[in-house]
Amino acid sequence: MLVRDAMSTVILTLGPTHTLRQAACLMSGRRVGAAVVLDPEHSGIGILTERDVLNSIGAGHDPDRESVGAHTTNNVVFCTPEAPLVEAAEAMAHGGFRHLIVLEDGGPVGIVSVRDIIRCWVPARRGAAVPA
């Protein structure tokens, strides 16, 4: 099974000047746990996760004043649609994160989450023999 079999192709993209409240509203409305952050002044692609928003609020920051750019992870691990899904899962487990941005031709084409992987693997395992 490949990443393309599990990934979501509906990507929420944000800019670094969005507030965390705007990000939270957009993420909640789209029912996603992560957003791709595109900053024209920063080379590369970043990610903002629901955990980033929670950590900021938990630290007492005002979500109406905090910018997405201040909470974006920029040293992101990426994968391609053709990568084996097990490699994406291993990268997530090793790195301790729940989302991977999927890149093709240098741009984001999807996001794969732990939930996406589980959704693919559980039905595949149902037909497998249960070890004794």
Q: What is the CATH number of the domain that holds 119?
A: 3.10.580.10
Is residue 13, in this structure, part of any structural domain at all? yes
pLDDT tens digits for 70-116? 999 988 999 999 999 999 999 999 999 999 999 999 899 999 999 99
CA–CA separation, 80 vs 68, rounded Å?
25
Other Cβ atoms closer than 10 A to 76: 18
What is the tally of structural domains in the chain?
1
In the prediction, which pLDDT does 2 show?
95
pLDDT tens digits for 49-74? 999 999 999 999 999 999 999 999 98
Is residue 50, in this structure, part of any structural domain at all? yes
* Beta-ladder partners of 112: 100
In the prediction, which pLDDT does 130 show?
44
Is residue 83, in this structure, part of any structural domain at all? yes
Is residue 38, in this structure, part of any structural domain at all? yes
* Beta-ladder partners of 100: 112
Global confidence as pTM:
0.85
What separation in angstroms does the CA of 68 have from each of 51, 56, 57?
Answer: 13, 10, 13
CA–CA separation, 57 vs 24, rounded Å?
11
Domain that holds residue 66: 3-126
Is residue 131, in this structure, part of any structural domain at all? no
